[in-house]
Amino acid sequence: MTAGSSKSYDLVVIGTGMGGGTLAAALGDTGLRILLLERGDFLPCEEENWRPDAVFLERRYRTREFWLDEDGRPFVPALHPWVGGNTKVYGAALVRMRREDFHPREHIDGVTPGWPIAYEDLEPHYCLAEHLYLVHGESGTDPTEPPRSRPYPYPPVPHEPYVAELAERLRAAGARPSPLPLGVDVRPHGRCIRCRTCDGFPCRVLAKADADVRGVRPALGFPTVELMTRAFARRLLTDASGRRIRAVEVETGGKVREIAAEEFVVAGGAVHTAALLLRSANDRHPRGLANGADVVGRHLMAHHHTLLMAIDRERPNPTTFQKTLAVFDFYHGTPDVPFPAGSLQLIGKRTAETVRLAFPELTAEEAHELAAHSVDWWLLTEDLPDPENRVTLTSDGAIQVRWRPANRRAHEALRRAAEELLSSCGYREFLVQPIGLDGIAHYCGTVRFGDDPATSALDPVCRAWEVENLWVVDGSVFPTSGAVNPALTIAALALRTAEELRRRFGIQRSIHETIERLVNGIERD
């Protein structure tokens, strides 16, 4: 049964992850009546937050839903449906895309399209996002760093001695390592205790700058912002003309209700946003909303990832907080492949327990030996947009994902270059942890924005070409994925769209003032 709702809102935001949470922060003080809909709840602060077995074995914080792969086999995706979305467990590496990523690029396995905006159009929003998400970094060391109009808000997270020495060795080998920009509160009197259970874990002391802590909670401090948790947006309903959304159909507490608003922002993450638009098909939009160009669900991208443990049995690694260093030397090419190859970053230190979870065939002693003598890298290469890689719905409404990574040769070149570089720093053995479909954390691309309605779903400010009050602010809007972690770019794009919405509602105050007030408010609390 569907019940109508008596209340109407100026804005409904579906999803409270990096996109939705950031948008809420940017509009909180405007006086607009805003409803945030989130299918999950607040993630509990509890002992299990920092227990590797609970997080990685029991997958305590993962979704319980199943998707189907292209052959119809079910799998549980790496999604975390909580207030804050996937940022509740993210590693908080908050990296800008490179200037070149916004233009068409030739890759070893194909040519990517450009974005409808240039890096310079997003640069001010990157600055705002870095301010909101407490980014600690250093310019002048990363050779591919794009130009910035403001310095990083905070100095880089200091390396522990082993990592500092590794940086020296890398420099001696001819590389130009740089501090990894991070959104964690390591300021004097900040909450971060620099533990081993950051990357991939929820933060029990709320020191990680996630979309819940830095976006949703501060936005809820304003009286006109409401949050409905355990509320699943089933469909968007248009008016008779098909040009406007009139309501969202929401399932909550075992009931289904319709909620009306002036504007609707979808921020469910790249797969769920596409699924919602496809589920919302009607007579006026038979292929799904915003899908006249038949792009919704297509061009699913996810980056190529490799987790590489570099082992030096002579040198123990006692580091606790390891994720502080990056190498961008191969971003535009490697010594043997003159095409974009990607980036290397340190990740959270693997322990004997997490090594054993990844490689169950190892004995406890072997896992201990490897964890104690390794340094752990994340290799990341751009995936290319392929229209056949896509999200679809089965006849009974299940989500099916077809993803065959493109640009593999570039990723192989990156791995070769990484191993060569690390060999010259004393690492003789390498162990690679494979990552399957159920480990993908960087979905994007399924509702691309562009400057041509024939090839994109959204216009350059991320509003649907075909539905005038429908906006999207999550990873789905990316026309290409670059080879850096996506969250900062999602936040910057959300802030840019928030600015457009403020104009639409006639809000005079600048978004800079809003973010400044919000950040000051968080500091006081």
The site for ligand FAD (CB under 6 A) is made up of 14-20, 37-40, 78, 81, 85-87, 89-93, 200, 232-233, 267-270, 272, 276, 441-442, 474-475, 485-488, 490
**Smallest distance from the beta carbon of 269 to ligand FAD, in angstroms?**
3
Query: Amino acid letter at 216?
Result: V
Residue closer to ligand FAD, measured from CB, 152 or 339 = 152
Phi, psi (rounded to 5 degrees) for 204: -70, -20
End-to-end CA distance of the chain: 42
Count of C-beta atoms within a 10 Å radius of residue 363 = 9
What residues contact 403, with CB distance under 8 A and at least 6 apart? Answer: 70, 300, 302, 389, 437, 440
What is the C-alpha separation between 131 and 152, in angstroms, rounded?
8
**Smallest distance from the beta carbon of 233 to ligand FAD, in angstroms?**
4
**Smallest distance from the beta carbon of 477 to ligand FAD, in angstroms?**
9
**Smallest distance from the beta carbon of 85 to ligand FAD, in angstroms?**
2
Residue closer to ligand FAD, measured from CB, 458 or 490 = 490
In SS3 terms, 271-331 reads as: HHHHHHHHHCCCCCCCCCCCCCCCCCCCCCECCEEEEEEEECCCCCCCCCCCCCEEECCCC
Phi, psi (rounded to 5 degrees) for 165: -70, -35
**Smallest distance from the beta carbon of 171 to ligand FAD, in angstroms?**
24
Residue closer to ligand FAD, measured from CB, 413 or 464 = 464
Residue closer to ligand FAD, measured from CB, 78 or 384 = 78
Residue closer to ligand FAD, measured from CB, 20 or 385 = 20
Residue closer to ligand FAD, measured from CB, 38 or 373 = 38
Count of C-beta atoms within a 10 Å radius of residue 365 = 9
Residue nearest to ligand FAD (CB): 17
**Smallest distance from the beta carbon of 92 to ligand FAD, in angstroms?**
5
Query: Amino acid letter at 284?
Result: R
In SS3 terms, 338-407 reads as: CCCCCEEEECCCCCHHHHHHHCCCCCHHHHHHHHHCEEEEEEEECCCCCCCCEEEECCCCCEEEECCCCC
Side-chain half-sphere exposure of 238, counting CA atoms within 13 A? 23
**Smallest distance from the beta carbon of 77 to ligand FAD, in angstroms?**
9
Residue closer to ligand FAD, measured from CB, 9 or 339 = 9
**Smallest distance from the beta carbon of 481 to ligand FAD, in angstroms?**
10
What is the C-alpha separation between 435 and 77, in angstroms, rounded?
12
**Smallest distance from the beta carbon of 131 to ligand FAD, in angstroms?**
16
Residue closer to ligand FAD, measured from CB, 213 or 425 = 213
- Region of 445 on the Ramachandran plot (φ > 0 left; ψ -120 to 50 alpha; else beta): left
Residue closer to ligand FAD, measured from CB, 201 or 222 = 201
Name the burial class of residue 240, with classes exposed (0-12), middle (13-18) and buried (19+) by CB atoms within 10 angstroms of its CB.
exposed
Tokens of 523: 């500091």
Place of tokens 């939705």: 20
**C-alpha 454 chain-centroid distance:** 27
Residue closer to ligand FAD, measured from CB, 340 or 482 = 482
State the helix-helix crossing angle for 511-524 and 487-504, rounded to 10 degrees: 120
**Smallest distance from the beta carbon of 420 to ligand FAD, in angstroms?**
26
